[in-house]
Amino acid sequence: MDDFVIIRAQALPPVFRRQGERVFPRNQGFSLLELAIALFILSLLLGGLIMPLAAQQQARQWRAAEHGLADIHAALLGYAVLHGHLPCPDWETGEHLPGYGVAIDHCVTPPAGEGFLPFKSLGLENGRDPWGNRWRYRVDRKFASAAAPIALDTDFSGEDRLKIVNLQNTALTTDSERPVALIYSTGPNGRPDGENASFEAMNGRYQSGPPTPEFDDQMSWLARPALMSRLVAAGRVR
């Protein structure tokens, strides 16, 4: 029996001590190789999460821009019903100045560049797109005259004669039905791209299309039939 006890005692793992002493398990820890592997796996997991999150954020911003353009479109129609004409652009760049976000009273002379959306005049909350850039706005001046309200015979015989093409330079509008106003976001890069990068005071040419690495502007425009339909329904035009 004594021999059996001795054998059992010798077979005990070395992490245990003699009878009466406190017993502690041995802490092996991580080797440098195991730690390196764990960090590598963690970096792969984080990288896989960051890319989808960035793509989701970008998709949310594009959807927000689409909703913003739809709100602006509706506000322009409402403004025309109330005033009988579309608003002139906002030219004020000082955010804390009284004229910021407000349509100028007259836009008779050819513009030197695109103006900004007069969001305060339209009753909108702010004049910036989801990337923090101001909405660009241009109007055919024949449809923005308080002195000569829009009538059924208001046409495109003025100097603006706006035209919009796609990324393949195919016309999206016609000579007989040009845009009466257009609004666009300069997108994530914050600058006009393609045809929008150059400005023509007369015969204004613009470009619209899905985002690409070279083009990320997002545009909407107001067509004369939609404008006339709303004005006739409201009794503004007969």
What per-residue confidence (pLDDT) applies to 4? 45
15 part of a folded domain: no
Please report which helix (H) or strand (E) contains residue 220, including its range. strand 218-223
Residue 93 contacts residue 85 (beta carbons within 8 Å): no
**Residue of higher predicted confidence among 45 and 206:** 206
Average pLDDT, integer, range 39-63: 75
What span, in angstroms and rounded, lies between the C-alpha atoms of 59 and 102? 30
What span, in angstroms and rounded, lies between the C-alpha atoms of 106 and 115? 13
Share of the chain above pLDDT 90, in %: 70
What per-residue confidence (pLDDT) applies to 1? 45
Q: Could you report the per-residue pLDDT of 160-173, keeping only the tens digit for each?
A: 999 999 999 999 99
What span, in angstroms and rounded, lies between the C-alpha atoms of 201 and 195? 13
121 part of a folded domain: yes
What span, in angstroms and rounded, lies between the C-alpha atoms of 166 and 182? 14
What residues contact residue 161 under an 8 Å CB cut-off, 6+ apart? 140, 178, 202, 203, 204
What per-residue confidence (pLDDT) applies to 188? 95
210 part of a folded domain: yes
Residue 101 contacts residue 150 (beta carbons within 8 Å): no
What per-residue confidence (pLDDT) applies to 28? 58
Pairing of strands 179-185, 136-139: antiparallel
35 part of a folded domain: no
How far the first Cα of the chain sits from its last, in Å, is: 119
What per-residue confidence (pLDDT) applies to 128? 97
Q: Could you report the per-residue pLDDT of 60-102, keeping only the tens digit for each?
A: 999 999 999 999 999 999 999 999 999 999 999 999 999 999 9
What span, in angstroms and rounded, lies between the C-alpha atoms of 142 and 159? 9
pTM comes to 0.78
What per-residue confidence (pLDDT) applies to 49? 58
Whole-number average pLDDT of the chain: 87
1 part of a folded domain: no
37 part of a folded domain: no
176 part of a folded domain: yes
- SS3 assignment, position 34: helix
Residue 35 contacts residue 184 (beta carbons within 8 Å): no
Residue 81 contacts residue 237 (beta carbons within 8 Å): no
Q: Total structural domains in the chain?
A: 1
Residue 69 contacts residue 119 (beta carbons within 8 Å): no
CB atoms under 10 Å from CB of 158, counted, come to 15
What span, in angstroms and rounded, lies between the C-alpha atoms of 185 and 192? 8
Q: Which domain holds residue 184?
A: 60-233
Residue 126 has pLDDT above 80, yes or no: yes
